[in-house]
Amino acid sequence: MDANVIDFGVRMNGMPGRAVPRRRTQPLPQRQVTRDEVLDSAARVLVRRGYQGLLFGGIARELGVATRSVLAVCSDKPELVRACYRRSASAFEEALMSAETATGAAVQKLDLFLTTMLALRRERGCLLPLALADGPSTADIRWCRAKDRVIRTRLERLLRSGQRDRSIRARDPAAATQLILALLCSSEPPLAPDSSVADLDDLKQLLFGGLASR
């Protein structure tokens, strides 16, 4: 380096300055990441930035690894997004199936559904809203919206069964269903993997408190 070049490339009074060495950035670790880790991170980025804002580099930064570690798991962006939405849809359907086949009053089944989904949301960091899917193609978006209608129908049916056995007091099951799904898929309040049980219980009470019959 030219001895006459100092900080910011300025020459002062014709006197040589001190060269400032460039700061080297520490390379990110190239540890192996699991498919679930990549899907969880991709879902969180999708919620915040949408399909166009989903970049493999952004997923890697969130996981604290090199981009090549993410690409080793999945290098196809459309397929990654489809996998995220398929996994979200499966989670809702499996939780509903467990609730529908459980014994007890409808309010107990609803409690089981909410407990399952809130625990999953805490584990993954978010739940993807299928109704607002932002996918790689029109066909993918249609698939997500069709799944969303099925999930809404099943959850609304559970609420209506609670009206019949008088364990749930939802005046408008369709509106209550919309509220439940919106809160489950909302990014606020956040439920990070290290959230306390109190955070989970508070959100559950917010969802559940106005529906259970006294």
52-70 burial, b at 16+ Cβ within 10 Å, e below that, comes to eebebebbbbbbebbbebb
Domain range for residue 194? 85-208
pLDDT of 139? 94
pLDDT at 4 over 50: no
Lowest mean pLDDT among 24-28, 43-47, 159-163: 24-28
Q: Does 137 lie in the same domain as 68? A: no
- Please give the Cα distance from 46 to 83 (Å, whole number): 12
Q: What is the mean pLDDT of residues 158-179?
A: 90
- Please give the Cα distance from 165 to 162 (Å, whole number): 5
Q: Per the domain annotation, does 5 fall within a domain?
A: no
Q: Does 153 lie in the same domain as 90? A: yes
pLDDT at 214 over 60: no
Q: Per the domain annotation, does 178 fall within a domain?
A: yes
CATH label of the domain that carries residue 178: 1.10.357.10
Q: Does 101 lie in the same domain as 41? A: no
pLDDT of 189? 46
Q: Per the domain annotation, does 164 fall within a domain?
A: yes
pLDDT at 109 over 80: yes
Tokens describing residue 150 = 């099925």
Pure H helices in the chain? 35-49, 56-63, 67-71, 77-101, 106-124, 138-164, 173-184, 197-208
pLDDT digits (tens, 9 = 90+) for 17-33: 555 555 555 555 567 89
197 band by pLDDT with thresholds 50, 70 and 90: very low
Backbone angles phi, psi at 185, to 5 degrees: -95, 0
Q: How many domains does the chain have?
A: 2
Q: Does 143 lie in the same domain as 57? A: no
Domain end marker among 12, 41, 75: 75
Domain end marker among 75, 108, 133: 75
With beta carbons less than 8 A apart as the criterion, state whether 180 and 131 touch. Answer: no
Q: Per the domain annotation, does 51 fall within a domain?
A: yes
Q: Per the domain annotation, does 80 fall within a domain?
A: no
Q: Does 121 lie in the same domain as 50? A: no
- Please give the Cα distance from 149 to 177 (Å, whole number): 11
99-133 burial, b at 16+ Cβ within 10 Å, e below that, comes to bbeeeebbbebbbbbbbbbbebbbebbbbbbbbeb
pLDDT at 16 over 80: no
Q: Does 175 lie in the same domain as 93? A: yes
Backbone angles phi, psi at 15, to 5 degrees: -95, 140
Q: How many CA atoms lie within 13 A of 208 on its CB side?
A: 19
pLDDT at 184 over 80: yes
Q: What is the mean pLDDT of residues 200-213?
A: 61
pLDDT digits (tens, 9 = 90+) for 48-87: 899 999 999 999 999 999 999 999 999 999 999 999 999 9
Q: Which of 77, 74, 117, 110 is nearest to 94 (CA)?
A: 117
Q: Does 143 lie in the same domain as 39? A: no
pTM: 0.77
93 band by pLDDT with thresholds 50, 70 and 90: very high
pLDDT of 171? 83
- Please give the Cα distance from 72 to 87 (Å, whole number): 20
> Rounded to a whole number, what is the distance in angstroms from the first to the last CA of the chain?
79
Q: Does 177 lie in the same domain as 118? A: yes
Rg (CA), the chain: 24
pLDDT of 135? 82
CATH label of the domain that carries residue 41: 1.10.10
Q: Does 192 lie in the same domain as 134? A: yes
